[in-house]
Chain A
Amino acid sequence: GQNIDQPTEMTATEGAIVQINCTYQTSGFNGLFWYQQHAGEAPTFLSYNVLDGLEEKGRFSSFLSRSKGYSYLLLKELQMKDSASYLCAVPPRGGYQKVTFGTGTKLQVIP
C-alpha cells in the first residue's frame, strides 16, 4: 500500500513563494501526482512526476526525489485564488490507475 504524509495546513502571503512537501512510502513506484482542490469543488490535475528533478509549469513547479520518497509543490507569486487544498498521490507499481489521495494540505493565501 501507500502512506502519504503532508502538512495539514499552511498560510502564506500574496506575492510570496510557498513550498508544500509530501513524503510517501509505497510498495512500488509509478509516478507522483499533485492535484488542486478549491473548497466545495472537484480536484483538478496539476502535475505528474515520474523522474527525479524539478518540473516547472508556469507559477507552479513540482519536484521529486524517488530515493528519498519525497516531493514538493512550489507555488510562486502567490495569488489569492491559490487558496485551496493540494493533494499528493502515489499509485502503486503495476496499478497506475489506483490513485489514492490523502487528506492534502490546505493552503490559505492572505493579503
Chain B
Amino acid sequence: DAGVIQSPRHEVTEMGQEVTLRCKPISGHNSLFWYRQTMMRGLELLIYFNNNVPIDDSGMPEDRFSAKMPNASFSTLKIQPSEPRDSAVYFCASQTPGVGTGELFFGEGSRLTVL
C-alpha cells in the first residue's frame, strides 16, 4: 500500500521566491497534518484538516504561509515570499478516521533550503 507521498523531496530556492510543497495522504484517511521540523524547535504542528476543512491553523507562523486541501487526495503548503528562516524539513501526515490511538502516518518529508 502506498504511504503518504510528498513532493518535492528536496528544494533549494532563493529568498523571496514562492515555494509550494505537495502532499497526497493515504487513501481513506480523512485527516491531514502539516508539520515543520528544525533542530531548534523540533517537530511543530502548522495546520491540520478534517474532511478537507482546515480545523486549526494556529501553528502557521505568519501570513506568508498558507495551506489548502482542495480534495481528499491532495494538499499544498505554500510559502510566499520565502525567507532563510523557513529552511526546515516539512512533513505531511495523515490519520485514520474516528477516535482511536490517533496514530499519524508521516510522509518522507520535503527538505527546504532558502538561501
**A residues whose Cβ falls under 8 Å from a Cβ of B:** 31, 33, 35, 41-45, 48, 87, 91, 95-104
Contact = CB atoms under 8 A, between A and B. Distances in A.
Interface of A is mostly: loop
Nearest to A95: B56
Interface in B32-64: 33, 35, 39-45, 48, 50, 55-56, 59
A99 B100 CA distance: 13
Interface in B83-112: 91, 95, 99, 101-109
16 contacts: A31-B102, A33-B102, A42-B106, A42-B109, A43-B91, A45-B105, A48-B102, A87-B42, A87-B43, A91-B102, A98-B45, A100-B59, A101-B44, A102-B42, A102-B43, A103-B42
Interface residues of B, number: 27
Interface of B: 31, 33, 35, 39-45, 48, 50, 55-56, 59, 91, 95, 99, 101-109
A103 to B, nearest CB: 4
Given A101-B42, A103-B42, A96 B106 contact: no
Contacts of A102: 42-43
A44 B107 CA distance: 10
Nearest to A6: B42
A96 B102 contact: yes
B109 A96 contact: no
B55 A42 contact: no
Given A31-B102, A43-B104, A100-B45, 18 more contacts: A31-B101, A35-B104, A42-B108, A42-B109, A43-B43, A45-B105, A48-B102, A87-B42, A91-B102, A95-B56, A96-B99, A97-B55, A97-B95, A97-B102, A98-B45, A99-B33, A100-B44, A101-B43
